[in-house]
Amino acid sequence: MNRGSSSVADVVRLYWQAVLDPETAAEVLALLDAATKADGVSPVSDHARMRLRATDEGPSWHVLARDDTGRLAGYAHLEPAVEGPAVAELAVRPELRQQGIGTDLLSAIIERTVEPDTEKLRVWSHGRHPGALRLARRFRFRRARELWRMRLDFDGEPPRPELPEGVRLRPFEVGRDEAAVVAVNNRAFSWHPEQGGWTEADLRDRQAEDWFDPEGFLLAVRTEPDGTERLLGFHWTKVHAGDDPVGEVYVLGVDPETQGGGLGKALTLAGLHHLRARGLPAVILYVESDNEAAIAVYSRLGFRHFDSDIQWAH
């Protein structure tokens, strides 16, 4: 697209790709890492990052914005609509912002996904980024969903977890626990648009990530009268390395059949102890802004709201 200006990104061309070769995927990751460093938060989700290395032509589309030198100036990930709306995330190289690249990316996504008088597209803004707000106003998006980020700075040792009688904790075992975890996860998050339909392949994709640590994937199990082991819930923790390392309550799931007995709180505290033992100064988590019950539980544990991810609807 020719802007007719003297900017360093005078000409930007967009390329749609279903699968990225390793070299292009590395380019995108470098751009995402630069945006993360500039903004303090990743511009795309874990799911989008994992799709970068996918070798199958799945539902995702990658949109690459290249300037007239061939440099990658911007990137967008689009998950086309299946049952719900299409979902997009985008990033622009920090030194090339405010030159219309984000506008080009979003315009192309809208053109491909939106039908007149329908709401078929949602776009994530991770963090309260002023550029995202400008784009939302320009294209007349409305705020549809807000995901809170909450943080706990360790000030002493958290309370000890009190497990229900007959329940014990053990770490996740690769090759053994995938099916049980997916089953509990999907029952616990049947209402959740991203979390509720996991497959074992989705779980294995995350196991392939550099940050995956089975020791930090805590399972609450109980031995049944017939000698079989039943998974009741789990707390999957994550460690964000780098200049400001921090732990995360990545996924906390409790089987609905066992909710109400204090297992969720016990699993939360067990994960906090694990992360503190790793020497981390703080822990973050994500929670829906309208989940008042969960926010109340986390607030009592010392978590405080510090930022939000906004999903905008077109």
Residue ranges of the binding site for acetyl-CoA: 90-92, 252-254, 259-265
Phi, psi of 206 (to 5 degrees): -75, -30
Burial class, 150, CB count within 10 angstroms (exposed 0-12 / middle 13-18 / buried 19+): buried
- Single out the residue of 216, 299, 284, 210 nearest to residue 249, CA to CA: 284
Please state the separation of Cα 56 from the chain's center in Å: 21
Q: Looking at this protein, which amino acid is placed at residue 199? A: T
Q: Which residues are annotated as a binding site?
A: 46, 90-92, 194, 238, 248, 252-254, 259-265, 286
Total Cβ atoms within 10 A of residue 289: 14
The answer to whether residues 311 and 286 touch, using CB atoms and an 8 Å cutoff, is no
What distance in Å separates the CA atoms of residue 103 and residue 307, rounded to the nearest whole number? Answer: 24
- Containing H/E element for 296? helix 292-300
Angle of helix 200-207 relative to helix 178-188, nearest 10 degrees, comes to 110
For 63, which DSSP code? E
